Structure 1
């Protein structure tokens, strides 16, 4: 039987506490045997982290009907029960659409899941150049579920500021830099001086992302025990989120999102001899390369890929003790604030961060709330029923989503990166 989430967290906390005791000079004399034991315990923590992450992702991606119905009530004035009924009805109609196409929908169901024009007339979008691919918008009422799925498959979405808009029009976003501004002491009857903030402006667009076509067998679509909505939307979300995360991390900003790493300033370059390695001193220099005004943000984090994280976990002091320690309490690791830290700051794994190499930028640090991700609340799904798929007993699904990402800090001082040495 699968362990409960609480039991896994408690097991992890117990192991982490044991590691801390083994590494505490006041408690344990550090020997080769202790080092081997600590390495084994770190491996156990890694396994538990994977189990905890999978369960948390499953819980977060499941539909919280009551919460969504309540939130809708705040927007449309309907009762929670009325909204809950509408969500259930929209889900049923959407699943029916995915399984069988629009021809089987009743007028009431079509109104729930198919887009309408300005006069309220139902629209069936057809992919250009073919009459076999019907395009449908994911119902707005179901969009929170899809956006939640996107979040759990992208490192940048864990810490960036997310803005959802109903349309894809360009947005001119004002940026500010307040790091050098301060108030003043003013004597009685003396006019206050002007302290203008540094202002700038960035344009946040809406670039188009595709999931690529996903073939789904007739058997899966016809099996009533299969959650088709989660299956199809989950597959689309995984692909789109991974594609978007690459651009949110390293995009050029020209005809595509601006990556956080692209926008970041150089914080520190490691000394020669560190082309494929990292140092604790380098991480500390990176920490202090970011202004304290940004370091106080709860979204101030270190970001790196798993390979670099592995190297960080192996960093040791002069007594050969690991410098990185996992959280040792259930409370510190549970809930929305549950994550490991480095130097007191959250550590985010992003597989689109570069590997360590000559002149590479493997670590990013700073206030990620200054990075804005814009989602357009219109995700289109195309349903392919042509012979290329039906001859194989399949239906093809293709998802389209629009999004952009930009750093909204006027001075670009909120994020800094660590660079490996050239030689």
Structure 2
């Protein structure tokens, strides 16, 4: 029964959104407004009854539900409190009737639906402001924040960019992310305590020896991550395509490529994976034996959450390992998934960001990547529109800017990620 009610609730809300879009777009004939008023009244009454039934079934009050009125258990209709169903609204002018119906629809929709609708409008306004289709004042009225020619990316779009970054940048996917404005530090143990065992009871002449523990602290230091895309004024003026959406997509891609390279390979980042992962340099041996040795080098406490991340050259080297009969050694390791492999029981991810500018070098990492710490400074992601700088070439520039940092953090007693390069397939 609950599933039926939920399906009907979704259908009613979808129909209300259609009616609202028609009314806001002035696509409805004046003669049809009265008919829509009656339909909205009926839908509102049914929607309130469904919400009341769902509340009773779950025995709890949801934020998006309206409390039922009266003792008969029927929900509040649109005629109460002088809303769209009242005689006053019905007797008003045609624009007033439209507004009354729209208000009635918005009050009837769930809070979640209203939030999604608002986010969609905000995202659209942000995109249109970027390409100059609306003014700053219009964008601000729709919830877009602007200052000194810069546009603060709406939170919903910022989350979308970060989500896209997680899909493309594996260190965002498996690392640990924090959002804060201040400096973010992580303590690491640099001196261990030591315990003793005694067979006789301790006395004043035989006290417990004091041992010290000592910590160091690694601070993340957010720096600027930015990306720039150029669009011709002719394209903005003449194209029927949604150029503003293309601009946003290109900004996302450019930003993520910059960020991922900084996390994986940057020599300016002391905590990048290439710089900070512990080099694993075993003696000359077969590739499979190297993988076993590498796996068993990771501290036992970190093995449970460990995984492999490698480039395509390393994947090729691993996939071509043969047993003594000439059969692929990893053929039994195939599982459903992105690249479909587990090596020695641990999942495998492949990304070109591991290349570090040398795609021909088979490079792989193994360990617990949750120790890669990422700090995103709250509300620092913004976009600037550059008009004058590229005016002599009739182009418009769009620059995305963000403050963040990402570093691999571990102590000397418990390294978390190791790096192995298979330079010739057999030797280290």
Q: TM-score, normalised by structure 1?
A: 0.62
Q: 1:328 and 1:194 mapped to 2: Cα distance?
A: 53
Structure-2 change in CA distance of 1:387 and 1:175 (3 Å): closer
Q: Name the counterpart of 1:285.
A: 293
Is 2:247 the partner of 1:232? Answer: yes
1:259 alignment partner, one of 263, 272, 277: 272
Q: Name the counterpart of 1:311.
A: 317
Structure-2 change in CA distance of 1:365 and 1:96 (3 Å): same
Structure-2 change in CA distance of 1:240 and 1:104 (3 Å): closer
Structure-2 change in CA distance of 1:264 and 1:388 (3 Å): closer
Structure-2 change in CA distance of 1:271 and 1:327 (3 Å): closer
Ranked by relative contact order (alpha carbons within 8 Å, sequence separation 6 or more), the top structure is 1
Q: Name the counterpart of 1:91.
A: 123
Aligned to 1:106, what secondary structure does the other structure show? helix
Q: 1:315 and 1:364 mapped to 2: Cα distance?
A: 18
Q: 1:397 and 1:197 mapped to 2: Cα distance?
A: 51
Q: Name the counterpart of 1:204.
A: 220
Aligned to 2:354, what secondary structure does the other structure show? coil
Q: 1:150 and 1:216 mapped to 2: Cα distance?
A: 27
Residues 177 and 410 of structure 1 are in contact (CA less than 8 Å); yes or no, is this contact kept in structure 2? yes
Residues 153 and 238 of structure 1 are in contact (CA less than 8 Å); yes or no, is this contact kept in structure 2? no
Residues 125 and 139 of structure 2 are in contact (CA less than 8 Å); yes or no, is this contact kept in structure 1? no
Structure-2 change in CA distance of 1:245 and 1:107 (3 Å): closer
Aligned to 1:269, what secondary structure does the other structure show? coil
Q: 1:420 and 1:321 mapped to 2: Cα distance?
A: 21
Q: Which has the larger radius of gyration?
A: 2
Shift of 1:218: 4.3
Is 2:186 the partner of 1:173? Answer: yes
Q: Name the counterpart of 2:145.
A: 114
Aligned to 1:307, what secondary structure does the other structure show? helix
Q: Name the counterpart of 2:262.
A: 247
Aligned to 1:208, what secondary structure does the other structure show? strand
Q: TM-score, normalised by structure 2?
A: 0.61
Is 2:331 the partner of 1:333? Answer: no
Deviations 1:363-413 (A, max 9, x none): 211000011122234212111223735744x42211112221122222351
Q: 1:164 and 1:285 mapped to 2: Cα distance?
A: 37
Is 2:113 the partner of 1:81? Answer: yes
Shift of 1:296: 0.6
Structure-2 change in CA distance of 1:197 and 1:365 (3 Å): farther
Q: Name the counterpart of 2:154.
A: 139
- Consecutive unaligned residues of structure 2, counting only runs of 5 or more, are 1-62, 65-109, 203-207
Residues 215 and 395 of structure 1 are in contact (CA less than 8 Å); yes or no, is this contact kept in structure 2? yes
Q: 1:81 and 1:182 mapped to 2: Cα distance?
A: 58
**Greater alpha carbon shift after TM alignment, 364-373 vs 407-416:** 407-416
Deviations 1:196-228 (A, max 9, x none): 876431101211112133335543576565273
Give the length in aligned residue pairs: 309
Deviations 1:332-378 (A, max 9, x none): 428xxx85322121212232324899xx7822110000111222342
Is 2:135 the partner of 1:103? Answer: yes
Q: 1:193 and 1:240 mapped to 2: Cα distance?
A: 55
Residues 269 and 419 of structure 1 are in contact (CA less than 8 Å); yes or no, is this contact kept in structure 2? no
Q: Name the counterpart of 1:379.
A: 381
Q: Name the counterpart of 1:417.
A: 419
Aligned to 2:158, what secondary structure does the other structure show? helix
Is 2:302 the partner of 1:294? Answer: yes
Q: 1:218 and 1:87 mapped to 2: Cα distance?
A: 30
- Consecutive unaligned residues of structure 1, counting only runs of 5 or more, are 1-71, 116-123, 126-133, 273-277
Aligned to 2:264, what secondary structure does the other structure show? helix
Structure-2 change in CA distance of 1:356 and 1:213 (3 Å): closer
Residues 374 and 404 of structure 2 are in contact (CA less than 8 Å); yes or no, is this contact kept in structure 1? yes
Measured on the aligned residues, the alpha-carbon RMSD in Å equals: 4.0
